[in-house]
Structure 1
Amino acid sequence: MVAPRNTAYAEESAEVEVLYANLDKLRVLTKKIQGSLVRLETSGKVVKEAIGPIYSNTQSLQITNSNIDKVNEAIDRLRQPLDAKGREEGIIRAGPQSVGLSQYLAALKRVDNALTDLNATNLRSNQKAISEFNILLSTGSGKLQDMFRSSLSENISPVEPLHYLTKQLSFPTIPGGVISELSPIAAAIGSAAAHGPQRGQGENPAITIYAEVRGSYINSSLQNLAIASVNTVKRRPTDGPYKQGTNGIGVYSSALEGLIVAEHENIIKIFTGEQQGRALQATCRAALAEYSKTLRELNQYIKANLMTDCFLAFEIIEIVTAMSYRIDSKTGELKSLFIEALRPVRETAKSSLSELLEETKRKAANIPVLPPDGGTVPLVNEVMSSLTTLTGYSGPLASILTSLGDGNWRSTSSTTSTAPLDVSPDSSSLFSHFILDMIEALMISLEARGRALHRSKATLGVFVSNIFCLVDRCIRQSSELSRYLSSPDSISRIDTFRKRGTSTYLEAWRECSQHLLDVQYTSRSGGSARPTSGGPVDSTSIVKSLSSKDKDTIKDKFKSFNVTFDELVARHKALYMEREVRGALTREVQAVIEPLYARFWDRYHEIDKGRGKYVKYDKGSLSAQLASLG
C-alpha cells in the first residue's frame, strides 16, 4: 500500500521541478527583454538626435519651395496686364468705326481690367506701365466720346412744340437703335473716367456731352415759346384785368414739361443709378434757366401793372406748382428748381393783395371830379371785375392767403412780418374776408370822396346807393362771389352801405318832412284839446279852432312844403339812379312823406277852402307824384 503513494508523489515532484525550471527560463528571458528595451530606447534617442535637424531643414525647404511657386505665379499675373497692352493698343488706336463697336468695347474693357490689376499691386516698378495704360484708356475713351457725341447729334433737330401739344402727342425720344449703342458707350466712358486723376470724383464725361447736346436741342425747341410768353403780356390791352389763359406761359410750360418727360425716358435707358438724376438735371439746366428768366420778365411787368395783371401771377403759380409736382412724380427730380424759379412771382402775388387794397384807396382818393348827377365811377366796375377774376384762382390764392394769415394782407409789410400767423380759418373763409375788405375799402373810400365833392345830401346819397347797387349786382351775377359772400356776416357788412346811402338820401327830404310836423298844435295849453287818434278828422273844425297867427303858420307850412317838395322831386328826377336804386329810394321817400302829408292834409286842408292857393296837392295827387319818382 505504501509504494503507490510514493510513485504519485514522485510524478508531482517532477512536474513541480519542470515548472520551476520554466519559471527560471522566463525570468532569464524577461531580463534579456528588459535589457533589449533599454538598448532600443538608447538607440532611439541617438537616432532622434541625429535625424531631428534633418527633418527641420526639410520642412523649411518645402515652405521655401511653396513660396517660390507663389512668386512665380504672381510674376505670371503681373506679366498678363503688361502683355495686354501690346494686344489691345492696335484695336484702341484704330477706333470703334474701324474695328466695330462691340470689339472695341471689349478691348477697352480688357485694358480697364488690366489697369485695375496694376493699380492693385501698388508696385513702384509698375508706375510706368500704369501711366501707359491710362494714356491708352484715355485715348479709347476720347474716341468713344466722339462717337457718343456724333450719335446724339443725329437726333437734335428742334421740334415745333405746338404740333405735339395741339394733337396731344408725346414728344419724340431718341430711336431705340441709337439708344442700344449709346448705353454701353456711356457705361464704358464712365468706367474709364474712374481711372482718371480725380478717381471717379468728377462728372461722367458722357453726362456732360449728353447735357450739352440734348440741352441745346430742348432750348432751341422752346425758344419761340419763351419769346411769345413775354410778347403776349406786353401786347395785352390794358383796359381790364388779365384774362386767364391769354398769356403764352401756359403753352410754354406744357411744352417744357413734355420735353423733360421725353428726355427722362431717354436718360433712364442710357444711364444707370444716380447718374440718371444728374444727367436729367444737367440736361435741363439751360432750359430751366431760360424759363426762370422768362418768369422774371413776366414778374417785372406784373409788378408794373399790379391792379390788372396780378392775376397773371396767380395763374403762373397755379401752372408751375402743378407742373413741378407732375414732373417730380415721374422723374423724382427738378421740383426744387421749379419752386425756386417761381419764388419772385410768388412774392409779387403775396404783396399784390395788400397792394390791391392800397391801390383801391389811392385811386378813389385821387378821383378829381364825380358825376354831378350822382352816377358812379369806373373804379367800381374795375374793382368788382378784379374780384370776380380772382375767384378763378382759388388754388394759388388758398396757399398765399394761408401763408399770410387772416387779415395780414391789410399791411404792406405783412410779407416780411415775423409775427405768428393766425391761419385758423380755412382758405375759403380767408378769401371771403379778403373780398369783404376789398369791397369795404372801395365803398368807404368812394363815400369819403363823395362827401368831399358832393354838396347835396341827395346827390351823395344817390352816389353811395348807386355804388352799392353795382357791387350787389356784380355779386349776384357771379356764382363764385355769391358763394364766398353768402354768410350772414358778409351780407350784413355789405348791406351797411345800402343803409348808409338810403339814410343820407333821406336826410335831403328831412326839411320837406319837417314842414308837415305840427307838434306845437297838438299839445297847446290854451287852445283846443289834443285831437284823438283814429277815427275821422274834421279839418273844418280844426282850422276854425286856430288863431289867425296859427292859420298863417299852417299856410306857410303848406307853401314851404310845396316849394321844397317840388325842388326835391325835380332833383330826384334829374339824378342818375340805377333801376334798383330809383325804385328803392322812391319807396323809402313814399314811406316817409306820404303818411306825414296825408295826416297833415287831413287836419289842415280846409285852410285853403279848395282854392289851391296854399294846398297844391291833395292826397291822391301827392301819392301819384311820389309814385312817378320810380
Structure 2
Amino acid sequence: MDDETAEIELLEQNLNKTRQITQRMTSILSSFDGRLVKVDKAILPLYTSSQMLTKRANNIERALDKIYQLASSQEGTAAEEALILRGPSTDQLSTYTDALERLNAGIAFGSSERDPRDTARLIETGAKKLAQLFTKFVAEGSSGAPLAGASFQRAPFPEHLTAALVPLVTFLRSLPLPATHPSHPAASAIQVALREAQRGYADMRGNWCRKCLEIYGRRALERAETVEGVLAGRDVGKWVQSMLDVIEEEYTLLTQLVPLQDAKSLSSTFSSLLNPILLLFSTTFSSLTALIKRALHKHTFLALSAYSAISVAQARWEKLIAVRADRHENELRDALGGIKAVCLRSFPEFLADVKLASVGKTSETTGLADFTVSTVEYMKNLLEVRDAVGDALVALGDGNWKMGAGVGVAKTNKLGVGSEQILIEHYIYDVVNTVVTSLQAVSRAQPRPSVGSVYLINNIAHLRATLLDARAPVSSLLSRPTRDALQSAFRTAKAGYFDANLTPLVQALAEDPRARVGRSETKERLTRFYDLLEETKERHALMRVLEDDNEARAELVDEVVRLVIPSLQRFLQRTREKEFSKNPSKYIKMTPEEVETLIRNFY
C-alpha cells in the first residue's frame, strides 16, 4: 500500500506541475495572441499600401512593355517604308514583294496601326517601282543590234530576263485592282501604273520587231530589182511568213509576261504592239507596188509571184491579227488588192507589147526575135505562178485581156471561180496567136522575102519546139486549139520558106507539056536553074535555118530534096532524049546526086 500511495503522490505532484505549466503556457499564448492582434492592427495599413504599390508596379511594367513594342513597331515601319521607297533590286525581289504583301494584308484585315491612306500611298509607290523594274527588263530585252544574216533571223527574248520577269509579273498580277478589290484605296492607281507599263511593253516590243524585220523587208525590195521575178516574189512571201512567225511568237510572249491578263487588255496591248510592224508591212508593199508599176513589163512575174506567195497567208493573218487584236483593218487584204490590180493590167499589156514589137522592124534578120524568146520565158514563168494567174484571170474576165478586141476562143457561159485552167488556156491561145501575127508582120516587112521567110520559120519553129514538147511542163498550159494553131503556123511558115527560096528552082525546070521546048530554051532553063541554085547556096551560107531544131531541120531537108531533085531528074531525062547540046556538061553543071549533096549542105 505504501508503494501505491507513494506512486499516487508522485502522480499528483506531476499533475500539479503539468497544470502549472499549462496555465503558464496558456497565459503566454494569450499574451502572444493579444500582441499579434496589436501587430495585425499595426501592419494592416502597410499591407494595404504595399498592394497598391505592387499593382502600380505591374501597370508600369506592362506600360513599359507596350512602349517597347510600339518603339520596335515604329522602327520596323520606318525600315519597311525606306525599303519600299528605295525600290526593288533583282537579287532581293522577294523581300520587296513580302513587304508589299504585309502592307496589303494590313489594309485588308485592318491590323495596321498606320493610317490606311499612308499605307495605300506606300503600296502605290511600291507598285510603281515594280512596274519600272518590269519596264527596265523589257527594255533590256528589246534593244541592241538585230541579226542580219543571209536569211531572216530574230534574236529571241533573253532567257535570263524571262526568268527574272516571271516572278515579278506573277506578283504584279496579284496586286489589288478595282475589278478584284473595289474597296482597296490604291487599286485604281495600281491599275493605272500597270496599264502604263503594259503600253510601254507594247511600244518597245513592237518597235524592236519592226527593227528586226525592216532589214529583210528592205533587202527583199533591193533583190526585186536584180533577181528573176518569180524568185523575188517568193522572197517577199518568205518575208511575210517571217513577219507572221514573229507576231505569233510575240503573242505567246505577251500572254506570258504582261501583268494585265483580261481579254480587253490583252487585245489592246497586242494591237498596240502590232502597229509598228503593220506600218512597216504597209510601207514595204507600197514601195513594192510602186516599183512594179514603174516597169510592169519587167516586173510582171514579181507581181504575180508576190501575189501568189502572200495570198496563202490570209487565213493565218486572220487568226493571228484580226481575231486576237480585234482589228477591223486588214493590211494584207489591202496589199493583195493593190498587187492584184497590177497583175490584172499585166495581161493586156503583155499582149500590147507583143503587138508593138512588130512595128517599125525593117532590118534583115533570121535570128530569134526578142519577143519570141521572152514569150517562151513568159509561158514558163506562168507555170510557176499558175494559181495567181488563174485567180487574176477570173477577176479580169474571159477575153478582157484583149482590151475590147473580142474573144477568139469559143465560150459557153461566163467563166468564174473553178474555171482557172480554162481561162489560162484561153489566154495562152491569144498570146500564141498574137506572137505569130507579130512574127508574120515582121517577116513581111523584111526587104527580101527569102530572108523574111527564114526569120518566120525559125521563130515559129522555136515556139513549136519549146511549147509543144511533151517533156516540157509548159505544154500543160496549151489547149488543143493552141497546139493546132502552132502547128498550122509552122506549116504556113514552111510553105512561105519554100515559096521564097526553093520554088524558083522548081519553076526554072517546069515545062508546059503542051508547048514545044527548043534547044535554046532548054539551055536557058538549065542555066537559070544552076544560077538560082548558086544564089540559094550563097543565101543559105549567110543564114541558118532551124539551127536549134535538129529534128525539124532534118525533116525540112528531106522535103527540099523531094521537091527539087525529082524535078531535076525529070528535066535532065528529057534533055538527054532531045540531045539539046553537043557539050551537055557545059550546061548540066551538077548531077542530081551532086545537087542533093549541095542542098543538104545548105543546112
- Cα 1:149–1:473, aligned 2, differ >3 Å: closer, same or farther? same
- Cα 1:194–1:465, aligned 2, differ >3 Å: closer, same or farther? farther
Q: How does 1:85-484 map to 2 (within 5 A)?
A: 97=88, 100-101=96-97, 104=100, 146-158=132-144, 160-161=146-147, 175-182=162-169, 185=172, 191=178, 205=196, 207-234=198-225, 236=226, 241-242=228-229, 244-245=231-232, 249=236, 252-269=239-256, 270=258, 271-329=261-319, 332-333=323-324, 336-365=330-359, 367=361, 369-371=363-365, 374-411=366-403, 422-423=415-416, 426-452=419-445, 454-475=446-467, 476=469, 479-484=472-477
Identity score, percent: 17
Taking only aligned residues, the RMSD between alpha carbons, in angstroms, comes to: 4.6
Query: How many equivalent pairs are there?
Result: 490
Aligned match of 1:603: 574
Between the aligned partners of 2:251 and 2:293, the Cα distance in structure 1 is 35
Query: For the Cα contact (< 8 Å) 1:461–1:504, is it kept in 2?
Result: yes
Query: For the Cα contact (< 8 Å) 1:558–1:615, is it kept in 2?
Result: yes
Q: Report the CA distance between 1:224 and its aligned residue.
A: 2.1
Q: Report the CA distance between 1:467 and its aligned residue.
A: 0.7
Q: Report the CA distance between 1:293 and its aligned residue.
A: 0.8
Query: For the Cα contact (< 8 Å) 2:229–2:305, is it kept in 1?
Result: no
- Cα 1:221–1:166, aligned 2, differ >3 Å: closer, same or farther? closer
- Cα 1:347–1:259, aligned 2, differ >3 Å: closer, same or farther? same
Query: For the Cα contact (< 8 Å) 1:158–1:217, is it kept in 2?
Result: no
- Cα 1:399–1:172, aligned 2, differ >3 Å: closer, same or farther? farther
- Cα 1:306–1:361, aligned 2, differ >3 Å: closer, same or farther? same
- Cα 1:143–1:513, aligned 2, differ >3 Å: closer, same or farther? same
Secondary structure of the structure 2 residue equivalent to 1:612: helix
TM-score (norm 1): 0.65
Between the aligned partners of 2:395 and 2:106, the Cα distance in structure 1 is 60
Between the aligned partners of 1:432 and 1:187, the Cα distance in structure 2 is 65
Aligned match of 2:597: 624
- Cα 1:459–1:436, aligned 2, differ >3 Å: closer, same or farther? same
Between stretches 131-140 and 321-330, larger displacement belongs to: 131-140
Q: Which amino acid aligns with 1:154?
A: E
Secondary structure of the structure 1 residue equivalent to 2:354: helix
Between stretches 387-396 and 282-291, larger displacement belongs to: 387-396
- Cα 1:447–1:188, aligned 2, differ >3 Å: closer, same or farther? farther
Q: Given the alignment of the two structures, is residue 583 of structure 1 paired with residue 573 of structure 2, yes or no?
A: no
Between the aligned partners of 1:192 and 1:384, the Cα distance in structure 2 is 68
Q: How does 1:472-551 map to 2 (within 5 A)?
A: 472-475=464-467, 476=469, 479-485=472-478, 487-508=479-500, 509-521=502-514, 546=516, 550-551=518-519
Q: Report the CA distance between 1:137 and its aligned residue.
A: 10
Between stretches 565-574 and 138-147, larger displacement belongs to: 138-147
Between the aligned partners of 1:132 and 1:252, the Cα distance in structure 2 is 54
Between the aligned partners of 2:131 and 2:96, the Cα distance in structure 1 is 15
Aligned match of 1:52: none
Instruction: From 542, 552, 559, give the equivalent of 1:574.
Output: 542
Give a deviation string over 1:71-92, Cα, whole Å, max 9, x none: xxxxxxxxxxxxxxxxxxx999
Between stretches 440-449 and 501-510, larger displacement belongs to: 440-449
Gap runs ≥5 in structure 1: 1-89, 115-130, 415-419, 525-545
Between stretches 587-596 and 456-465, larger displacement belongs to: 587-596
Query: For the Cα contact (< 8 Å) 1:179–1:266, is it kept in 2?
Result: no
- Cα 1:429–1:565, aligned 2, differ >3 Å: closer, same or farther? same
Between the aligned partners of 2:400 and 2:207, the Cα distance in structure 1 is 45
Between the aligned partners of 2:573 and 2:105, the Cα distance in structure 1 is 120
- Cα 1:151–1:575, aligned 2, differ >3 Å: closer, same or farther? closer
Q: Which amino acid aligns with 2:331?
A: L
Query: For the Cα contact (< 8 Å) 1:302–1:312, is it kept in 2?
Result: yes
Give a deviation string over 1:428-486, Cα, whole Å, max 9, x none: 3333333343333233213212212x13222111101111232234334973212223x
Q: Report the CA distance between 1:205 and its aligned residue.
A: 4.5
Between the aligned partners of 1:172 and 1:477, the Cα distance in structure 2 is 56
Secondary structure of the structure 2 residue equivalent to 1:458: helix
Q: Which amino acid aligns with 2:348?
A: S
Q: Report the CA distance between 1:576 and its aligned residue.
A: 2.3
Between stretches 495-504 and 307-316, larger displacement belongs to: 307-316
Q: Report the CA distance between 1:105 and its aligned residue.
A: 7.5
- Cα 1:160–1:456, aligned 2, differ >3 Å: closer, same or farther? same
Query: For the Cα contact (< 8 Å) 1:138–1:192, is it kept in 2?
Result: no
Give a deviation string over 1:142-175, Cα, whole Å, max 9, x none: 6665454334223212564556967899776871
- Cα 1:213–1:625, aligned 2, differ >3 Å: closer, same or farther? closer
Instruction: From 521, 528, 531, give the equivalent of 1:563.
Output: 531
Between the aligned partners of 2:345 and 2:449, the Cα distance in structure 1 is 38
Secondary structure of the structure 2 residue equivalent to 1:369: coil
Query: For the Cα contact (< 8 Å) 2:372–2:459, is it kept in 1?
Result: yes
Between the aligned partners of 1:274 and 1:313, the Cα distance in structure 2 is 38
Q: Which amino acid aligns with 1:490?
A: T
Q: Report the CA distance between 1:422 and its aligned residue.
A: 2.1
Q: Which amino acid aligns with 1:291?
A: F
Between the aligned partners of 2:405 and 2:561, the Cα distance in structure 1 is 50
Between the aligned partners of 1:413 and 1:187, the Cα distance in structure 2 is 72
- Cα 1:192–1:274, aligned 2, differ >3 Å: closer, same or farther? closer
Between the aligned partners of 1:603 and 1:615, the Cα distance in structure 2 is 13
